[in-house]
Amino acid sequence: MVRVGKTVTQYIDLHSHVLPGLDDGAPDLATSMEMLGALADLGFTEICATPHQRNGLFIPPADAIDAALATVRAEANSKRPDLRLRLGAENYWDEILIERLRKHTVPCYDGRRAFLFEVNPVSLPPNLAEGLFEIRVSGTLPVMAHPERYLAVQRDIGFAEELGKQAALVVDLEAVAGTGNRAEVKAARRLVEEGFAHAVASDMHSPDTRDTVGAGIEWIRKHLGAEALTRLLEEHPRRILAGELP
């Protein structure tokens, strides 16, 4: 854990790709442990593994996910006992997700009431806001990954405000740090500064991004203060995992 002044940080990472061999994240257990160590060094004590679920690209079967999770948990329990590893998924908005929504089988955080999703960055699903509203009415909380990447948000930050009434918006820390194209960085920082982002996360795919994730944390600390970090990385993530929209 990281101590800031007299406060010990207990950050929660809602978005990471730390499970080995499932998607474009960690290729093996050694890399998984390096990533967990990097996140722990930055102050994270709870890390949500969110392997991709996208038709035609990454659809790891449940037994493979369970096996990877058990392997990493066993290793982490011996080498990083201070870490808590949770399970979620990064669900791409496609026909598989639509069918899972219909059947109430979407992979949620810890099998509870909130699920992470992403959409096509250029072309959003038709009537997205209405669809998110229907999901909320059903008792499930949609959590939007990296809204700063979506062209509609980059063009109109007010659109993010509308989406944020039905979905929790989770901005990537690397974008806040300045990594990515100018439009993404500008949108990420505006979402955080103007209070439209409900949380921020690492979206870590490799231990090589440790420094940029850390730079995103420091940017928030410098520009918005320690209270904003607590809100975006501790208080709001905990509420999101409980199925609440902060």
1: pLDDT confidence band, cut at 50, 70 and 90? very low
d(CA 222, CA 197): 17
* 148 or 6: which leads in pLDDT: 148
How many percent of the chain have pLDDT more than 70? 97
d(CA 201, CA 217): 9
d(CA 239, CA 223): 24
5: pLDDT confidence band, cut at 50, 70 and 90? very low
203-224 average pLDDT score? 98
d(CA 29, CA 65): 13
What confidence tens digit (pLDDT) does each residue in 40-63 have?
Answer: 999 999 999 999 999 999 999 999
* Residue of 113, 117, 210 lying closest to 170 (CA atoms): 117
d(CA 159, CA 217): 25
What confidence tens digit (pLDDT) does each residue in 92-126 have?
Answer: 999 999 999 999 999 999 999 999 999 999 999 99
Q: What is the pTM of this model?
A: 0.95
- For residue 9, the model assigns a pLDDT of 84
